[in-house]
């Protein structure tokens, strides 16, 4: 990479990937927040695990770390510059993980935006794990890094929601696990389509959060809210829609409709394909899917407009995108990373993509 090539420059999900952050899994612990916030986002069968000081099973973390290291090595073999966060004992500091940076940062043009996390257990994530990367990136004088605003005093994000009195505050037309008293989001509720950024309101993203992103993005970018319906657990848009390349998107039909996608000008001339898939519940899978649904199959990371990383067990999906759309899926093991919160898209932040 030449001395003056940008360190932060990406505004879509498919242009050739040049630089990326890949997360790390060691010492990850189940996130823990007030019960209603966990109940609103996590799978019922594992809800009891989401309590303070509860590590993920060591064998899951060990394998997740190997999967992430292998993924990082494959990216490097493909000429991508890979940054890794610092090893942090998340269990000790009451945090969650370093494996899901997609929730933490988003690149829009030359701007990197940090999430003002709704969950307390994630509010120190950047300070603890990512400062070395931010220092490196800030040597690019054209780059802008927007750190999340500091919360001074008491955090009001759960006031009036989820208590025994029921939800007294609404955030839009739906009762969510957070209120709209301050900007809050996880960047995985946003997806970039060039000058248009598609966002969803969710149990971790409020309207003020979306307005905040609109205020932070460079001139000329617009944030639009997509009507989605993940059901009760809505959190993150990257298991609902997946652009395979410019002009071609696959979506989860129970979670979003073609009509709702089409109502956004950016998709008007796109091919939009529902994923022909009916999730089959597995009996006691190992590793357990603690946090995600089977729609995580849509959580791919694109190397370019042809090559995309797919979990090696999702052979049917890989065959479908190969046969139907001429894609070249790259199959890698990632089941243990999936277990602790996400797949290839969740565990990365693309910093540079070049057209
Ligand atoms: N809530 C999504 C589902 O269960 C999972 C999305 C994970 N994404 C992420 N960036 N951590 O289908």
pLDDT range class, residue 166, cuts 50, 70, 90: very low
* pLDDT > 90 fraction of the chain, expressed in percent and rounded: 90
Range of the domain at 142: 17-353
Q: Using the mean position of ligand 1's atoms as its centre, give its distance from the Cα of residue 142 in Å.
A: 32
Tell me which residue has tokens 């990365």: 348
Please list, in sequence order, all residues whose beta carbon lies within 8 angstroms of the beta carbon of residue 350, skipping any fewer than 6 positions away.
Answer: 10, 13, 17, 19, 20, 107, 301
> What's 187's DSSP letter?
G
Q: Using the mean position of ligand 1's atoms as its centre, give its distance from the Cα of residue 296 in Å.
A: 6
Mutate to test the pocket of ligand 1, among 115, 239, 293 (most ligand atoms within 8 A of CB): 239
Residues having CB closer than 6 A to ligand 1 are 100, 102-103, 188, 235-236, 238-239, 292-293, 295-296, 341-342, 346
CB-side neighbour CA atoms (13 Å) of 264: 23
pLDDT range class, residue 30, cuts 50, 70, 90: very high
| pLDDT, position 170 | 44
- Concatenating the DSSP letter of every residue in 233-301 gives T---STTTEEEEETTEEEE-TTT--HHHHHTSGGGTTSEEEE----PPPPSS-SS--SS--GGGGG--E
Q: 249 and 243 in contact (C-beta within 8 Å)? A: yes
Q: Whose CA is nearest to atom 1 of ligand 1?
A: 235
Q: 239 and 214 in contact (C-beta within 8 Å)? A: no
263 occurs within a structural domain: yes
Q: Whose CA is nearest to atom 12 of ligand 1?
A: 293
Rounded Cα–Cα distance for residues 337 and 339 (Å): 5
Q: Using the mean position of ligand 1's atoms as its centre, give its distance from the Cα of residue 230 in Å.
A: 10
Task: Calculate the CA dihedral of residues 293, 80, 113, 51 and round it to 10 degrees.
Answer: 40
Q: What is the mean pLDDT of residues 327-331?
A: 98
Mutate to test the pocket of ligand 1, among 186, 342, 344, 348 (most ligand atoms within 8 A of CB): 342
Helices assigned H by DSSP within 34-157: 35-39, 58-77, 125-129, 131-137
Q: Whose CA is nearest to atom 9 of ligand 1?
A: 346
Q: Domain holding 339: CATH number?
A: 3.75.10.10
Q: 3-state DSSP call for residue 21?
A: strand
Q: Using the mean position of ligand 1's atoms as its centre, give its distance from the Cα of residue 264 in Å.
A: 23
Evaluate the CA torsion angle 336, 339, 343, 348 in order and state its sign: negative
93 occurs within a structural domain: yes
First to last CA, the chain: 15
| pLDDT, position 230 | 83
| pLDDT, position 127 | 98
| pLDDT, position 217 | 98
226 occurs within a structural domain: yes
pLDDT digits (tens, 9 = 90+) for 7-21: 999 999 999 999 999
Rounded Cα–Cα distance for residues 46 and 289 (Å): 9
Q: Using the mean position of ligand 1's atoms as its centre, give its distance from the Cα of residue 342 in Å.
A: 6
How many folded domains does the chain comprise? 1
Q: What is the mean pLDDT of residues 136-155?
A: 97
> What's 221's DSSP letter?
-
Q: Based on C-alpha coordinates, what's the Rg of the chain?
A: 19
5 occurs within a structural domain: no
Q: Using the mean position of ligand 1's atoms as its centre, give its distance from the Cα of residue 236 in Å.
A: 5
**For residue 157, pLDDT beyond 90:** yes
Lowest-pLDDT choice from 25-34, 145-154, 260-269, 281-290: 281-290
The structure's pTM equals: 0.95
pLDDT digits (tens, 9 = 90+) for 75-118: 999 999 999 999 999 999 999 999 999 999 999 999 999 999 99
Q: Using the mean position of ligand 1's atoms as its centre, give its distance from the Cα of residue 140 in Å.
A: 31
Mutate to test the pocket of ligand 1, among 64, 203, 253, 291 (most ligand atoms within 8 A of CB): 291
pLDDT digits (tens, 9 = 90+) for 263-292: 999 999 999 999 998 888 778 889 999 999
7 occurs within a structural domain: no
Average pLDDT value for the chain: 94
Please list, in sequence order, all residues whose beta carbon lies within 8 angstroms of the beta carbon of residue 138, skipping any fewer than 6 positions away.
Answer: 145
10 occurs within a structural domain: no
Cis peptide leading into 287, omega within 30 of 0? Answer: yes
197 occurs within a structural domain: yes
Q: Using the mean position of ligand 1's atoms as its centre, give its distance from the Cα of residue 221 in Å.
A: 25
Helices assigned H by DSSP within 15-130: 35-39, 58-77, 125-129
**For residue 45, pLDDT beyond 60:** yes
């Amino acid at each position: 990479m030449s001395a003056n090539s940008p360190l932060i420059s990406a505004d879509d999900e498919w242009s050739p990937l040049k630089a990326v952050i890949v997360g790390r899994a060691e010492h990850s612990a189940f996130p823990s927040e007030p019960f209603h916030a966990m109940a609103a986002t996590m799978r019922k069968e594992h809800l009891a695990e989401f309590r303070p000081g509860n590590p993920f099973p060591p064998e899951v973390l060990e394998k997740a770390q190997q999967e992430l290291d292998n993924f990082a090595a494959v990216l490097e073999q493909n000429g991508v510059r890979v940054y890794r966060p610092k090893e942090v004992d998340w269990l000790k500091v009451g945090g969650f993980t370093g494996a899901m940076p997609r929730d933490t940062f988003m690149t829009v043009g030359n701007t990197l935006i940090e999430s003002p996390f709704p969950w307390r257990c994630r509010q120190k994530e950047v300070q603890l794990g990512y400062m070395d990367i931010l220092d490196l990136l800030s040597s690019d004088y054209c780059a802008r890094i927007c750190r999340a605003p500091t919360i001074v005093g008491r955090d009001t994000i759960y006031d009036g929601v989820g208590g025994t009195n029921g939800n007294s505050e609404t955030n839009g037309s739906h009762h969510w696990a957070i209120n709209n008293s301050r900007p809050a989001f996880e960047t995985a509720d946003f997806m970039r389509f060039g000058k248009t950024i598609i966002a969803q309101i969710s149990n971790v993203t409020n309207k003020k959060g979306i307005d905040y992103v609109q205020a932070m993005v460079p001139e000329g970018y617009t944030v639009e809210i997509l009507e989605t319906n993940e059901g009760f657990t809505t959190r993150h848009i990257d298991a609902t829609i997946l652009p395979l390349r410019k002009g071609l998107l696959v979506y989860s039909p129970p979670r979003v409709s073609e009509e709702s996608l089409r109502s956004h000008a950016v998709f008007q001339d796109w091919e939009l394909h529902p994923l022909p898939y009916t999730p089959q519940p597995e009996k006691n899978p190992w590793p357990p899917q603690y946090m995600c649904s089977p729609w995580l199959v849509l959580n791919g990371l694109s190397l370019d407009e042809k090559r995309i990383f797919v979990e090696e067990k999702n052979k049917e999906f890989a065959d479908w995108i190969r046969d139907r759309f001429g894609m070249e899926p790259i199959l890698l093991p990632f089941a243990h990373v999936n277990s602790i919160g996400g797949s290839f898209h969740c565990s990365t932040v693309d910093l540079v993509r070049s057209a």
